[in-house]
Structure 1
Amino acid sequence: MKHSHDYPLKARPMIGLEDEYAAGFVDPGHSHEHAQFLYASSGVMSVVTPDSSFVIPPQRALWLPAGTMHEVSCRGAVSLRTLYIDPVHDIDPGHCRVLEVSDFLKALVLEVVKFPAEYDLDGREGRIVWLLLDEIRRMPGAPYHVPMPSDPRLARVCRAIIANPADQRDIDAWSSQIGMSRRTFTRAVRQELGMGFALWRQQVRLMQAVSLLAAGRSITSVAFDVGYESPSAFTAMFHRAFGEPPSAYVSR
């Protein structure tokens, strides 16, 4: 994966890059000197920072402030369209944000990634870049993340569940694997994540389910892929969490 230090901004507010990645590609933990607008025009990405884990389907993008450590993995083939942006234009300093991507914003991004590194800032290209920055600022956020623990033992468990939400191991199995008692494990999870283990795992499954539905997967295949025993059980949980069944979400 190409990084911002390979492409100096040279007095431009942003530069855009496009690339293709195969299923299973992982870009290990790193950071950028610029803010980053991370967007896949097709495919689903998983992004893990020290504080949160995000799943990014094609209708969403992730804003990463300059200097944010993150790891990116591609669950399937991904068409990456990313923008590196001067930190003076940070939309929310110090905070990562999942953003909706409108059809208009997508069209602007797909245009900007084709600009040369030293595009004409005073001409058509420059005007499109400033418009793109304005559109990014006005995009609403979306709930596509879960908190991550700072304890490295709990982080190993959380990363394993994020990699495979269908993993059915219970608290006893996970606590034993990392050398904790059940009581210590449950207390540490609640202190670090602000919720119980079962609820955190449910949020991971729902986050992954929404991303798979957005990518066009069937409700039945999504239900089994994220660890539910039947499509009806998945539909009931989805409805309780989002106020509508997955079929309504897909239609909308």
Structure 2
Amino acid sequence: MRTPAPRLVSPPGGAVAVADFPLDGGEWFGRHRHGAHQLAWAPEGVLAVRAHARTWVLPPSVALWIPAGTPHSTGATAPALLRSLYFRPERCPIAWPGPRVVPVPALLRELIAHLAREGNRLPAAARERAEHVVLDLLHPVEVTTVRAPLPRDPRARRVAEALRADPADGRTLAQWGTAVGASARTLARAFVTDTGLPFGRWRTQLRLQAAMPLLAAGGTVSAVARRVGYGSPSAFVAAFRRGVGVPPGAYFAPRAG
């Protein structure tokens, strides 16, 4: 983890500042908080944000609103560009109490790029108009974060780490028990106790987590479904809809606007 060294656009008197942070794959900014509201977005690559014991995986089609004072960490599984907008709370009409996923349609994308590129050179009135339109375009969508925490029990953790390495591994708990020296019942109990999820649900969550960067990178639904262990694209789409709240096409496709 490192301390951010951004390219910053922060005009005197402006209500919104924009900062760019290039991220290497696997790189994270450690847990921190801001005095301003933050809109975290990756125009390139896939962003991940951890806050409130949840992890959001964010392709370029969506961003995450992070209220001022919220402890969080930010990273990427592959090279990405984090473009953050910071909103002064005293001049911001949005008062969402917790993080919210918002779509990034074409108009919002272009406005953010405009502020990032021209913000320091815009006349105050023009910049203020652009900032107001950005705020008008922020509308939260209801999606569920995908959780697959590692269990503390060392035998269950071995199973979890093996599945992280190969989400398509379809072995049953009894078969895993033979591999790690525990009964299926012991492993099942460990997953529920340590993660709050039955093993089957935990594995589904893990597969969805693994699928998100692949889909964001342009993988087809059928190819990604096979890669993470689903026998058919329809089964994968159904699992994604149940787990996230929307089908993959709605979450990853760029939105018009």
Q: Normalising by the residue count of structure 1, what TM-score does the alignment of the two structures yield?
A: 0.71
Counterpart-to-counterpart distance in 2, 1:245 and 1:50: 24
Counterpart position of 1:17:
19
1:146 is matched by which residue type in structure 2? Answer: V
Instruction: Specify the SS of the correspondent of 2:146.
Output: strand
1:65 is matched by which residue type in structure 2? Answer: P
Instruction: Specify the SS of the correspondent of 1:112.
Output: helix
Indicate whether 1:61 and 2:63 are aligned: yes
CA contact (8 A) 1:29 1:70 kept: yes
Counterpart-to-counterpart distance in 1, 2:209 and 2:130: 33
Task: Identify the range of structure 1 (56-65 vs 44-53) with the bigger mean alpha-carbon deviation.
Answer: 44-53
1:107 CA displacement: 0.9
Instruction: Specify the SS of the correspondent of 2:22.
Output: strand
When Rg is computed on C-alpha atoms for both structures, the one with the higher figure is 2
1:129 CA displacement: 0.9
CA contact (8 A) 1:235 1:246 kept: no
CA contact (8 A) 2:46 2:216 kept: no
Per-residue CA deviations over 1:213-240 (Å, capped at 9, x if unaligned) read 2431233542354x31x5x345423235
| Pairwise CA RMSD | 4.3
Indicate whether 1:113 and 2:116 are aligned: yes
Instruction: Specify the SS of the correspondent of 1:29.
Output: strand
1:144 CA displacement: 5.2
Alignment coverage as a number of residue pairs: 238
1:94 CA displacement: 2.9
Per-residue CA deviations over 1:153-190 (Å, capped at 9, x if unaligned) read 49xx6x969975728587777x999xxx646534435x
Indicate whether 1:26 and 2:28 are aligned: yes
Identity of aligned residues (%): 25
Counterpart position of 2:107:
104
Counterpart-to-counterpart distance in 2, 1:235 and 1:70: 34
Counterpart-to-counterpart distance in 2, 1:119 and 1:40: 24
Instruction: Specify the SS of the correspondent of 1:113.
Output: helix
Match of 1:188 among 173, 188, 193: 193
1:18 CA displacement: 2.2
Counterpart-to-counterpart distance in 2, 1:245 and 1:126: 36
CA contact (8 A) 1:16 1:83 kept: yes
CA contact (8 A) 1:53 1:147 kept: yes
Structure 2 CA distance for partners of 1:21 and 1:210, relative to 1, 3 Å: closer
Counterpart position of 2:236:
237
Task: Identify the range of structure 1 (207-216 vs 67-76) with the bigger mean alpha-carbon deviation.
Answer: 207-216
Counterpart position of 1:47:
49
Counterpart-to-counterpart distance in 2, 1:245 and 1:146: 14
2:86 is matched by which residue type in structure 1? Answer: Y
1:204 CA displacement: 4.0
Instruction: Specify the SS of the correspondent of 1:130.
Output: helix
User: Which ranges in structure 2 are unaligned for 5 or more consecutive residues?
Assistant: none
CA contact (8 A) 1:3 1:32 kept: no
Counterpart position of 1:146:
146
User: Which ranges in structure 1 are unaligned for 5 or more consecutive residues?
Assistant: none
Instruction: Specify the SS of the correspondent of 2:129.
Output: helix
